[in-house]
Amino acid sequence: MDSGQNLRQIELLQALEATKTALRSFSIYVERQAESVWLAEPPAPPERASELPDFGELASRSAALAAVADIVRAIDYVDGQDPRTTRKLVGVISLPREGLAAALEINALRERVAKAWKAVADDELAVVDEATGQGAYISLRKDVLRRGGRARLNQRQTVRRFLVFEHPLESVSFFWNASPNITATTCEELREDLARPRYQDSPHLAADLALLSVLPPQEPFAIFTQVKPRVCANIRWSENGKIKVKSNVKTSMPIFVPAPGLPIVKKPQPRTERKKRVDVRIQPEPYLTLIAAHRYENPAEALQLREQRRAAAEDAENDTAE
């Protein structure tokens, strides 16, 4: 192990230990100092969106706060947990100002862990296989976690950030979202993606690059990623006399808001079928084989719409800054 790898290893372990300690203290604080709490634990989401069930509210304050404390400090897998999943808890909790500040400090620690995790992502450690006597390479990150007693660490649970609002909210509306994730990209960006090492040995690479070569660099594409139904939230508040809305927010943990009281909370309702969109302008079949990127029926119109949305987002950010 060279000196650079050693420093990156130390930084990862220190960041993890600092985050673990802060989460433990914060979980105790929340259980003792939370002012108001609304909490519901949804059932496991179905594989398909054919039936999205309702879920009940945890009426007992003590049971709710114990559940929150548990999810706050949960960075390891539990027995029986699918390693591809994260533990989730839906709700809204009001805290004193110092509690909100502590949550934001933990978010900064989690960002530190994420950076340290990424820094060692490509590091490998040379070892000798005891069974064969042959040299081999193993992931330095896995070795660090194993030797540091963190072999059961769940990366997503460790780096996911708390959703913290320092201003009062008017309402939080939870709902089931069964839509796929859609990532906006361009022809040029797809070419760059196909240059990554993971695609270099694929027999489909040459054909995909040939398909992209006949298109303008800035032609828009949409990448679809199918996901399981998940609970999201629409959040509404007033700021400087204007109504602000944060839509389709993923909520794997309770939302923290300032005390006293809670906003109006609406829980998800069961839904048995989803209406089909009538304004679909995306070709149904992916244009490429290696990446599920779809072309638009009218690329110029799609590009114009993206520019309008980008401008609207920038205007919203400027309004918030003012």
- Do 131 and 76 meet the contact criterion of CB atoms below 8 Å apart? no
pLDDT tens readout for residues 158-188:
899 999 999 999 999 988 887 777 888 999 9
Query: For tokens 């993890």, what's the residue?
Result: 16
- Domains of the chain from N-terminus onward: 3-176+251-271 (3.50.14.10)
- Do 258 and 165 meet the contact criterion of CB atoms below 8 Å apart? yes
pLDDT tens readout for residues 130-151:
666 666 556 666 776 776 677 7
Mean pLDDT score across all residues of the chain: 81
Q: Comparing C-alpha atoms, which of 191, 184, 188, 222 is closest to residue 208?
A: 191
- The distance in angstroms from the start CA to the end CA of the chain is 50
pTM over 0.85: no
- Do 302 and 296 meet the contact criterion of CB atoms below 8 Å apart? yes
Structure tokens at 218: 């800035």
- Do 101 and 64 meet the contact criterion of CB atoms below 8 Å apart? no
Query: For tokens 């300690």, what's the residue?
Result: 21
Chain CA centroid to CA 268, Å? 20
Instruction: Return d(Cα 181, Cα 74) in angstroms, integer.
Output: 26
Instruction: Provide the b/e sequence for 242-277 (b: ≥16 CB within 10 Å).
Output: eebeeeeeebbbbbbbbbeebbebebbeebeeeeee
Q: Comparing C-alpha atoms, which of 232, 205, 219 is closest to residue 288?
A: 205
Q: What is the pLDDT of residue 78?
A: 83
Q: What is the pLDDT of residue 187?
A: 93
Query: For tokens 């719409």, what's the residue?
Result: 305
Q: What is the pLDDT of residue 204?
A: 94
Q: Comparing C-alpha atoms, which of 203, 22, 40, 42 is closest to residue 107?
A: 22
Sign, Cα dihedral of 117, 153, 250, 254: negative
Which is more confident, 95 or 280?
A: 95
pLDDT tens readout for residues 94-131:
999 999 999 999 999 999 999 988 887 766 655 556 66
- Strands (DSSP E) found in 107-180: 124-128, 135-139, 163-164, 171-177
